[in-house]
Amino acid sequence: MSSSTSVKMVKFNNGQQYPILGLGTWQATPELKEFEQTEIYDAVKSAIDIGYRHFDCAAFYNNENSIGKAIAEKIKEGVIKREELFITSKLWNNKHKPKDVEVTLKNSLQLLGLDYLDLYLIHWPVSTTEHPIAKDSEGRFIGTDDSYLDTWKAMEQCVQSGLTKSIGISNFNIKQVKEILEIATIKPVVNQVENNPYITQNKLKEVCESNGILLTAYGPLGSPYRGANSKGLVLLEEPIIKTIADKYAKTNAQILIRFQVQRGVIVIPKSSNPERQKQNFDVWNFEMSKEEMDLLESLNQNLRYVLLEPGMHLKDYPFNEEP
Ligand SMILES: NC(=O)C1=CN([C@@H]2O[C@H](COP(=O)(O)OP(=O)(O)OC[C@H]3O[C@@H](n4cnc5c(N)ncnc54)[C@H](OP(=O)(O)O)[C@@H]3O)[C@@H](O)[C@H]2O)C=CC1
Ligand SMILES: O=C1CO[C@H](CO)[C@@H](O)[C@@H]1O
């Protein structure tokens, strides 16, 4: 599998087409020294060679500079053109003030070596003070009064000024999605949330989709590097998934990625390993039955890994009410 043309595209509510499968970049080691070739630099280059065109980035991941270098290298080699790529980035919680939004987006653009983004997301509904992870004496993020509704208006300005083609949200709950929709002139195209058979979030999915917002699944493989969940379970080792994988001669990871593709959810598995990148990209030549999809859905336990614990006390913390 090496051609990006086989990747299914989804259509956003503004008509923009986006690859349903992209590469996650969280914890792909950021640069240690300037000009050093790093894990993420190699990972993005191999992913482009394999056929990935959609990259899920964020200012918070502190590796956009290396991603930019890898993209520039592949454009220089003639392997891809900028317009064939779909680059997402995200606004971190310390930059929610309307005056900071455009400046922060431009900073990501500079690091990525691009003159526009394809998609820009508000990373979390919570807003915090200037330092990205500043905490009080109890180890909690320090909140501000900023409203994500004002932040959204500034996000809309970024579309108007051509800095990004689309805008969206991440980690927003149903109530927060509805609030955004009430004031939006430009609707979010996606809500990026934790999603896999242990946390299917079907109610949120239904509300988003009925309002023209697609879900993007983060942690689609169950974030194996975070260890077993609070019930001692590791998604990639789930026997039901193995049974289905054996039937199609696929790996458990491929089943988990295909699960999202079949339910129309954009999916962004992270891998820095070229063999696993290839495997994760090869999910187009089989179709699971409705019974198998239902079986995978039946694993749902609403268990989250990503809780943003230091932010649980903040006024806009999204997970105090389900979903
Ligand atoms: N909006 C948000 O708040 C969040 C967004 N995200 C985004 O979502 C992306 C994906 O989520 P993430 O947390 O990375 O978790 P994933 O579920 O994508 O798991 C990634 C891990 O799985 C391993 N892996 C990848 N492919 C395979 C495979 N085929 N078989 C076995 N192991 C595999 C990777 O290791 P290796 O690299 O060695 O292959 C890596 O450790 C992130 O990278 C980020 O871009 C993530 C968390 C929060
Ligand atoms: O994108 C992200 C990566 O994971 C982090 C947690 O470990 C999240 O806080 C963040 O939103």
Instruction: Find the angle CA(160)-CA(164)-CA(169) to the nearest 5 degrees.
Output: 100
Closest ligand to 46 CA? 1
Rounded Cα–Cα distance for residues 177 and 209 (Å): 11
Interval 181-213: pLDDT, tens: 999 999 999 999 999 999 999 999 999 999 999
Distance, CA of 244 to CA of 291 (rounded, Å): 11
Q: How far is the CA of 44 from the centre of ligand 1 (A)?
A: 14
Q: What ipTM did this prediction achieve?
A: 0.99
State pLDDT tens for residues 265-304: 999 999 999 999 999 999 999 999 999 999 999 999 998 9
- Measured in degrees and rounded to the nearest 5, phi and psi for residue 109 equal -60, -40
How far apart CA 181 and CA 186 sit, in angstroms, is 9
The H helix count followed by the E strand count for the chain is 10, 10
Distance 40 CA to ligand 1 centre (A): 13
Give 148-194 pLDDT, tens digit per residue: 999 999 999 999 999 999 999 999 999 999 999 999 999 999 999 99
CA distance linking residue 212 with residue 188, whole number of Å: 8
Share the mean pLDDT of the chain: 94
Centroid of ligand 2 to alpha carbon of 289 (angstroms) = 33
Nearest to 93 by CA among 133, 57, 62, 139: 133
Among 41, 42, 50, 221, name the best residue to mutate to test ligand 1's pocket (greatest count of ligand atoms within 8 A of Cβ): 221
Classify residue 185 as exposed, middle or buried by CB count within 10 Å of its CB (0-12, 13-18, 19+): exposed
Would you say 96 is a known binding-site residue? no
Give the model's pLDDT for residue 134.
80
User: What is the per-residue pLDDT for 27?
Assistant: 79
